[in-house]
Amino acid sequence: MRFEITDNALVCRRRGETLRIEPWGRDSLRVRAAMGMDVLDIPWALTETVEKPQAKISVYEVDHWAGDGTIDKRPEASIENGRVKAVVNFAGVVTYLRDGKKILREYYRSYDGTIVKTSRCLKVVNREWKGVQGGSEYALTVRFDANEGEKLYGMGQYQQKDLDLKGCTLELCHRNSQISIPFAVSSLGYGFLWNNPAVGSVTFAKNLTEWKANSTKQMDIFITCGDGPKDILRNFTAAVGRAPMFPEDRMGLWQCKLRYRTQEEVLSVARAYQKEGIHIDQIVIDFFHWPYQGDWRFDAKYWPDPKAMCDELHEMGIKVIVSVWPSVDRKSENFGEMEERGLLMRTERGAAQTYDYQGDCVEIDPFNPETRKYIWEKCKQNYFDYGIDGFWLDNSEPDLGVYDFENYRYQAGPALSCSCMYPQWYSRAFFDGMKAEGVKDVVNLLRCGWAGSQKYGNVIWSGDVPSTFESFREQLQCGLNMGLAGIPWWTTDIGGFMTDDVNDPDFRQLLIRWYEFAVYSAVLRMHGDRGPYNIPPLDTRDFGGGYLHTGQNNELWSYGEENYAIMRKYYEKRIAMKPYIASLYKEAHENGSPIIRPMFYEFPSDPACWGLEDQYMFGPECLVAPIFEKDQFERDVYLPEGKWVREGTEEVIEGGKHIRVKAPIDDMPVFWKQQ
């Protein structure tokens, strides 16, 4: 191992590999490695300019116990930035310390790597590079020893019930309702970013942690330390970016359904809300309002005057957001030009088709700046210039007919090497375009994102999830882990997306419980595909804005008077909380804190809070205990130390204990912390 100190960095070279470690913000290090070359200066998620304090770097020798019992000297080096320190031994194995205590060590089980008493003959190394056949990339595996008793959180959104990810294997790729954001928060006081957009996986096993990139040119890791999750999120978001300030005029109710088929349907719903005295901040126009996918315009037969529609909605104080998909049908007026100019993703073999829902489609290539320019110009001309305020960038993973990543390619390279950044570049086409047009508060809705997506005005929702209590329970941990991965603007389809029968009393009970939860989340948004599908299409053609089915009504009053009264009551709660909600968005902008937070985020010194997965904090003062089971009308709630008052009462309850509380259908348990 050869050590060098250069440009405030520790550089280590061994067996063709270059390892570079340098300070990267407060109490943080960036660690890169490449095989057969120096490391590349690719930011990926680390886009922000951060302070790089002068590191303490040392190269020295340590005693090495050889196999014959003798002692010799071997080189070792360390680099320290505030509270975090990395030590590299003579075999290139890195150990990370927080305040002098080991928090993470690379897994190495080979005889020549460590001192004899910890050596193994297994020939398993810490950083394993395997060349991808026929290419310049490598399949990379990086291994770490497991820490006994450690809990791990973050990593984005995976549809499962467990908040603590220890013991889980996670795909590092996107699917509908799965969002890979490779930042983990540890109960040991550190955060770890796998700064690599390659398709891969991570396993947080009991015996080791293993990160894999299926095709990449280098390893890139960011590790940071803090007193608790709040410190860790502050350091992480300083490096990858924070959400802008969220506009107060969109903190209320968003109205949506699958799908409003005509501009008159949209206007009639808006007028009905106005008549009811309920202000909707934003109304959403869903998919297939276009002639063909990739036309990126209204079908004039059903949307004859979009500007007049937007003008009337704006007079009511309602913003308008419209669905845009990244798929382009071969029949689209734009397909030929986009294919000729190389603006679409490519297949390595076989047919060009990459998406097959309601057409023979190919997705756009947003890694190509010409593609981003092209789709923004189309959407500006056909939507923005009419007064559309925002864009619902659906299918933004992108959804694929088959997730054969090895068969796809973008301008940036093989899909295996970069696919996780697709939704971020897709969103930037609109964020950058809207900013260039002078839009101060860009708010777009997406089904996916990646590390740092929060800085591009992305509200991310949890995808097309089923309308079940089991799925509802999963959405809580999805939102909490998304927040811990740096994404504060997160929401769900209230009631789930897929409903067979809106008249089913069990569904209506679920809808109310989900709605109550959504009131205490970042965005309150009505949406869903509501069966039964007995509404005839508007058109006999097999294309255009009138042929596809629509779901049942999904307005607040659509589910009976009793349920309407409950939703109206909780709508008023939401409006009354707007000053408090604004303070949460401000905190997210200033220090990266999530809007909804695990209990341990606010009470990191309370061991009980690290085990709670069915209640959460809505900001620093509001404790929320949703109801996740059918016909459940009471539940246990843990109140941390301090004084608490249940919302709607004046009773002061001493914390530090579990209590049993009633939860009738119209009253979800919510408690406010007293000063």
Residues with catalytic annotation?
Answer: 394, 397, 464
Q: Which residue is it, tokens 């998909």?
A: 325
Provide CB contacts within 8 A for 15, sequence distance 6+: none
Contacts of 159 (CB under 8 A, 6+ apart): 177, 178, 465, 471, 474, 478
DSSP alpha helices (H): ranges in 277-420?
306-315, 335-340, 369-382, 415-418
Return d(Cα 452, Cα 428) in angstroms, integer. 12
DSSP character for 205?
-
Asked if residue 532 has a cis previous peptide bond (ω within 30° of 0), the answer is: yes
> What CA–CA distance (Å, rounded) separates 465 from 497?
5
* Buried-state track 420-433, b at ≥16 Cβ within 10 A, e below 16: bbbbbbbbbbbbbb
Q: Is cis: bond before 414, omega within 30 of 0? A: no
Q: How far is CA 157 from CA 162, 465, 503, 575, in A?
A: 11, 12, 30, 28
Assess contact for 472 and 628: CB atoms under 8 A.
yes
Is the peptide bond prior to 259 cis by the omega test (within 30 degrees of 0)? yes
C-alpha Rg value of the chain to the nearest Å: 26
- Please tell me the total number of residues recorded for the chain in this structure: 675
Distances (CA, A) of 401 to 358, 441, 465: 11, 34, 18
Q: Which of 319, 340, 389, 396 lies closest to 363, judged by CA?
A: 396
Residues 6 or more apart in contact with residue 428 via CB below 8 angstroms: 366, 372, 456
CA–CA separation, 586 and 253 (whole Å): 19
State both tokens at 618.
Answer: 């809505």
b/e map 245-267, b = 16+ CB within 10 Å: ebeebbbbbbbbbbbbbbbebbb
CA gap 189, 415 in Å, rounded: 34
CB atoms within 10 A of CB 191: 27
**AA letter at 369:** P
**CA–CA separation, 333 and 630 (whole Å):** 49
Paired with 72 in beta bridges are 64
Distance CA(616)–CA(668), nearest Å, equals: 13
**Which two three-digit tokens encode residue 209?**
């942690």
Q: What is the DSSP letter of 207?
A: S
Dump the DSSP string for 357-379.
Answer: TTS-EEEB-TTSHHHHHHHHHHH
